[in-house]
Amino acid sequence: MQFKKIIFTFLISVVIFSCKKEVAGNGANSTFSSTDVNNWIYQSMNTYYLWSTKMPTIAKTNLTIDPMNYFTSILYDYGNTDRFSWIDSSSSNLINQLNGVNKVLGIKINSFFVDNTKPNGDIAMVIAYVIKGSPAEKAGIKRGDIILTVDDQTVNAKNYNTILQNSTLKLGFGNFVNNTFSNNGKFLTVTKVELQTNPILMDTVINWSGKKVGYFSYTQFLNSYDDSLRAVFGRFKSKGVNELVVDLRYNGGGYVSSSDLLTNLIVKDLGSHVNNVMNKKTYNDAYTQTLTKQSSSNPFVTNFQNEANNLGNLSRVFILTSNNTASASELIINNLRPFMNVILVGEHTYGKNVGSFTITDDQNRWNYGLQPITFKIVNSLDQSDYGTVNGFTPNYQVVDNVLPYKLLGDPYETLFNSALNVIGAVAYQSNSTHPSQKIIRNLAQAAAISDNRNLDRHDMFDHPPHTRTK
């Protein structure tokens, strides 16, 4: 069976809905039984799933159950070997999400216990970043702001993961003074809108220890912003950047092609690598045979390509990481390691070295989208040892738990400053003064979360190799 909507994807969650006997079709007045949909799911999985030979035979499955549950029931060792395959009931909405279009307030937050002695008590939500052009930015919300109540409810360990899900939210703000969180009487009511994410939060160049240090923060690999990414490196190149800090602490992945682009922009001596191997993918045996027959070029290998704004002179790159750093972000690290020194500053990464396609029905009978794991990816040295829950281990372990938060790109921001101190210890000269108060507090949850949890998925996606143009 051919599918005209297949997109590479690295994703982590499984959404399960209640069972039903029939499912609505996309056509007018059309319905289909769960058996129809489940047969399609099984055949799709049998064709593309990386562990297709480990699935139960179709005769041993229950084709009458809800498709959302059926998909999960045929996964191989789900939660262990396969931690990532998932299904969505609306492929059209899913594709929008993967391309950075979501209904959002536009905030990412880290959580701190209000009282360090009560680890299951109230929580202070500290803004990690605000999406450009979002309702939150327009309302004046910025990194470091503190939210203590939502819709007049105190944020706590029980409601923390769901309290931001309403479309309109009344946010109550607080202060952090003398190591104490307190309400400040400020409230804002903000309504979510559908928004195209701009993944480039900021970029800057600073002078530090006799070096020109380029810094940029990037939250998602979106090919609609590839030219913007090139422009950032064009500015870096024109200003003579000779040290680079890439902030991927909030980046859960995105397009493979954009990940490859960033690799090309960073790698040392790009000219000597052009048309040589950057990374390779491995599929199941049956799909490998299909790709070999259908492709006029090698469908398993991605090579380095020329990029005019490659910095060229870097001997090393610093990457800021966290538990949110996943998939396409980890691919950057793995791609570069054979060719230059990659220094990780922050926390261990998420740990995902396998990917999938989004598969939809070419006959448009139903709107389900499947994300079965379909390949494993390795670098030019066939290395791929980060696919565990511990991911990549940082060279410099730094937790983003120092308050008050500094703005991203500020040389005294916790993770950026840690990278700068490896570059050199010369004091930074600026018009602003170094903050006198720096307080370490316990995080309530390791990973930052968004007001729309779709933004917290870990993914990597692209067009299938047999339809790529040269």
The verdict on residue 191 lying in a domain is yes
Q: Into how many domains does the chain fold?
A: 2
pLDDT, residue 436, reads 54
Q: Which carries the bigger pLDDT value, residue 110 or residue 371?
A: 110
Query: Would you state the pLDDT for residue 420?
Result: 97
- Residue labelled with tokens 């092609």: 257
Q: Are residues 406 and 258 in the same domain?
A: yes
User: What values do phi and psi take at 182, rounded to 5?
Assistant: -150, 150
Q: Is the pLDDT of residue 427 over 70?
A: no
Per-residue confidence at 178, pLDDT binned at 50, 70, 90? very high
342 by DSSP, 3-state: which? strand
> What is the bridge-based pairing of β-strands 402-403 and 101-104?
unpaired
Q: Which of 235, 356, 206 is nearest to 284 (CA)?
A: 356
261 and 122 co-located in one domain:
no
Q: Is 78 a member of any domain? A: no
- Amino acid 25: pLDDT: 66
Which region among 182-186, 266-270, 445-449 has the lowest average model confidence (pLDDT)?
445-449
174 with 303, same domain: the answer is no
Distance CA 320, CA 396 (A): 10
The predicted structure's pLDDT at residue 27? 53
What's the pTM? Answer: 0.90
Q: Does residue 459 fall inside a structural domain?
A: no
Is residue 62 in a domain?
no
pLDDT score, position 457: 81
* Whether residue 249 sits in one domain with residue 147: no
Cα–Cα distance between 42 and 320 in angstroms, integer? 40
Query: Are residue 284 and residue 311 in the same domain, yes or no?
Result: yes
Closest to 267 measured CA to CA, from 236, 211, 311: 311
Clarify whether residues 181 and 228 are in a common domain. Answer: no
The span from the CA of 349 to the CA of 74, in Å, is 28
Mean pLDDT for the stretch of residues 286-303: 89
Judge whether residue 337 has pLDDT over 50.
yes
- CB-CB contact of 411 with 125 (8 Å): no
Q: Do 301 and 320 have their domain in common? A: yes
Give the pair of three-digit tokens for residue 391: 């991911």
Q: How far is CA 289 from CA 73, 251, 285, 292, 466, in A?
A: 27, 34, 6, 5, 12
- Looking at residue 463, what is its pLDDT? 66
Q: What is the DSSP letter of 157?
A: T
Residue 282: which CATH number?
3.90.226.10
Given 196, 222, 246, the domain boundary residue is 196
Q: Are residues 327 and 402 in the same domain?
A: yes
Question: How confident is the model at residue 19, as a pLDDT?
Answer: 33
Q: Which two tokens stand for residue 235?
A: 């500015």
Q: 153 lies in a domain?
A: yes
pLDDT for residue 18 is more than 70: no
Look at residue 6 and tell me whether its pLDDT is greater than 50: no
Q: Are residues 265 and 143 in the same domain?
A: no
Q: What is the DSSP string of 30-75?
A: -EEEHHHHHHHHHHHHHHH-TTGGGSPPGGGS-TTS-HHHHHHHTS
The CATH number of whichever domain residue 183 belongs to comes to 2.30.42.10
Q: Return the DSSP state at 166.
A: S
8 closest CA partner among 299, 364, 304? 299
| Domain closes at, from 176, 196, 216 | 196
Give the pLDDT confidence score for residue 30 in this predicted structure: 64
Average pLDDT over residues 351-358: 89
3-state class (DSSP) for residue 217: strand
* Tokens 């048309």 belong to residue: 275
- The length of the chain is 470
Are residues 210 and 132 part of one domain? no
pLDDT above 80 for 16: no
DSSP 90-146: -HHHHHHHHTTEEEE--EEEEEEESSTT-TTSBEEEEEEEE-TTSHHHHTT--TT-E
Section 86-111 average pLDDT: 88
Q: Could you tell me if 46 and 285 are in contact, meaning their C-beta atoms sit under 8 angstroms apart?
A: no
pLDDT of residue 110: 96
Average pLDDT of the chain is 89
Would you say residue 114 has pLDDT above 80? yes
Centre a 10 Å sphere on the Cβ of residue 433 and count the other Cβ atoms it contains.
Answer: 7
pLDDT of 12 > 50? The answer is no
Q: In which domain, by residue range, is 182 found? A: 103-196
- Model confidence at 99: pLDDT above 50: yes
**pLDDT, tens digit, 9 for 90 and up, residues 207-257:** 999 999 999 999 999 999 999 999 999 999 999 999 999 999 999 998 889
DSSP letter string, 221-283:
B-GGGHHHHHHHHHHHHHTT--EEEEE-TT--EEEHHHHHHHHHHHSTTGGGTBTSEEEEEE-
The pLDDT value recorded for residue 207 is 95
Residue ending a domain, choose from 196, 222, 244 = 196
- pLDDT score of 435: 52
Is 252 a member of any domain?
yes
> Cα separation of 263 and 256, whole Å?
11
Could you read off the pLDDT of 357-368 as tens digits, one per residue?
889 998 999 999
Q: Kindly give the pairing relationship between strand 277-282 and strand 253-255.
A: unpaired
What amino acid is encoded at 436 in this protein?
Answer: S
Residue 342 in any domain: the answer is yes
* CA atoms of 108 and 100, how far apart (whole Å): 14
212 and 339 belong to one structural domain: yes
Residue 373 in 3-state DSSP? strand
Where does the pLDDT of residue 4 fall: very low under 50, low under 70, confident under 90, or very high at 90 and above? very low
Q: What is the pLDDT of residue 469?
A: 34
Task: For residues 48-75, give the mean pLDDT.
Answer: 97
The reply to whether 164 falls in a domain is yes
Instruction: Report the range of poorest mean pLDDT among 29-43, 48-62, 235-249, 320-334.
Output: 29-43
| 240 lies in the same domain as 330 | yes
* Minimum mean pLDDT range among 140-144, 306-310, 459-463: 459-463
Peptide bond connecting 404 to the previous residue in cis, omega within 30 degrees of 0:
yes
Min mean pLDDT across 43-52, 75-84, 223-232, 332-341 is at: 75-84
